[in-house]
Amino acid sequence: MSGELCGIVGIGQTPYCAQRADVSIAGLCREAALNALEDAGLEWRDVDAVVLGTAPDMFEGVMMPELYLADALGATGKPMLRVHTAGSVGGSTAIVASTLIESGIHDRVLTVTFEKQSESNAMWALSSKQPFSPHINAGAGGYFAPLIRSYIRRSGAPEHIGMLVAYKDRLNALKNPLAHLRIEDISMEKIESSPMLWDPIRYLESCPSSDGACAMVVAREALAKDAPKKPAWILGHAMRSEPTMFCGRDEVNPHAGRECAKDVFNQAGITDPLKQIDMAEIYVPFSWFEPMWLENLGFAEEGKGWEMTDEGRTALDGDLPVNCSGGVLSSNAIGASGMIRFAEAARQVRGDAGDHQVPGARTALGHAYGGGSQFFSMWVVSSEQP
């Protein structure tokens, strides 16, 4: 990262739930945007440009929703961009918005992501029959379950690790009033007895289908310093991608993810992530991805990520709290899920994360991934101005 310093001055979310029948997609996005503007003490006229991120159009069946949403997001007469990088889009959208500040092009940018799964069939939208192939593509779970099986074989991780991640994230969700799934009587037994969907992924080890939106306002250094609330400062951001299929591709611990993590930590001056990162919001749509990404990100050696989970080190009171908000396992408005990770990391370093605050968090990682574990976006944010 280079150029102007960029700060996050406003964060706004909607509550996440199964169905927001009271608002349209435009209403949902506007609600998050207004919350972000209010948090920043700003009004529509203070925004120079709008960057919107969305999941595939197939999800809601609305082609090019950025055109229809421009008016609701106050973009009339202003630059409007749309970002799409599959599941990682929430993260890459925040990064694109930040680069408009860092490049010196704009002073303040509003960035918004959303999903309204109640108006869509996201679970199956991308699993239609492919030409000349058996029709066995069973949604995201069907795609990722074999990768989890590979992880279990390679690492020798015991079978309860996935359930432990789900239990931890669901406990965290009880501290987050915005979370979609808040299961008061959650227990390991309840998770274990939930139906097996895509072996080894159980129902309660999977993300829900959520409606919701997330927005942020990012600003250049001088404006961020003068913002009414403490900003989160962006120390680094990175994106990487790689093809879905090639010979020798490591789908469990993808090269693109490892390189993306190295890059973002290098920008942020982080040489020992486990020591220097106080908390992480990591994109975990199926429980087992917590240990897998801990390794991919360099928090654990290859094959050892599950030990961190097992020892409780990723719990809210552990030495690397992961997904204190409840994570994607508790709220999955797909297009927004990556940005929620980025925003929750920023909330933590602003000391503004409510009951799921990690005391004294100064440096946090936001992470998102998408496609067949092939698109990555990450940022590191800090309470301290560099």
Partner 1 sequence: MSEPITQIVTPTSLDYTFTAGGATERFLRGLKDGKILGQRCPKCQLVIVPARGACARCGVPTEDDVELADTGTMTTYTIVHIPVPGSDVKPPFVAATIFLDGADIGLFHLVHEVSLDKIRPGMRVKASWKPQEDWGFSLTNIRYFVPLDEPDVDVTELERRIAHA
User: Rounded to the nearest whole angstrom, what is the least distance from the CB of residue 16 to partner 1 in the complex?
Assistant: 19
Q: By CB under 8 A, is residue 195 in contact with partner 1? A: yes
Block residue for tokens 């928090």: 299
Residue 118 vs 276, nearer CB to partner 1: 118
CA–CA dist 272, 304 (Å, integer): 16
Q: Which of 48, 127, 221, 302 binds partner 1 (CB under 8 A)?
A: 127
> Is the Cβ–Cβ distance between 260 and 45 less than 8 Å?
no
Q: By CB under 8 A, is residue 275 in contact with partner 1? A: no
Residue 217-246 contact track with partner 1, rule CB under 8 A, x = bound:
--------------------------x-xx
Burial class (CB in 10 A: 0-12, 13-18, 19+), 37: buried
Residue 195 vs 359, nearer CB to partner 1: 195
User: Rounded to the nearest whole angstrom, what is the least distance from the CB of residue 201 to partner 1 in the complex?
Assistant: 8
Task: DSSP for 246-315, please give it.
Answer: -TT--SSS-HHHHHHHHHHHHHTT-S-HHHH--EEE---SBTTHHHHHHHHTTSS-TT-HHHHHHTTTTS
CA–CA dist 56, 58 (Å, integer): 5
Q: Which of 77, 131, 156, 359 binds partner 1 (CB under 8 A)?
A: 131
Site for partner 1 in 11-40 (CB under 8 A): 21
Given its phi and psi angles, is residue 41 left (phi above 0), alpha (psi -120 to 50 degrees) or beta?
left
Q: By CB under 8 A, is residue 156 in contact with partner 1? A: no
Give 365's Cβ-side CA count (13 Å radius). Answer: 36
φ, ψ (nearest 5 deg) of residue 128: -70, 165
User: Rounded to the nearest whole angstrom, what is the least distance from the CB of residue 8 to partner 1 in the complex?
Assistant: 34
User: Rounded to the nearest whole angstrom, what is the least distance from the CB of residue 147 to partner 1 in the complex?
Assistant: 7
Residue 71 vs 199, nearer CB to partner 1: 199
Q: By CB under 8 A, is residue 198 in contact with partner 1? A: yes
Q: By CB under 8 A, is residue 199 in contact with partner 1? A: yes
Binding site for partner 1 (CB under 8 A): 21, 61, 118-119, 124, 127-129, 131-139, 141-142, 145-147, 149-150, 153-154, 195-201, 243, 245-250
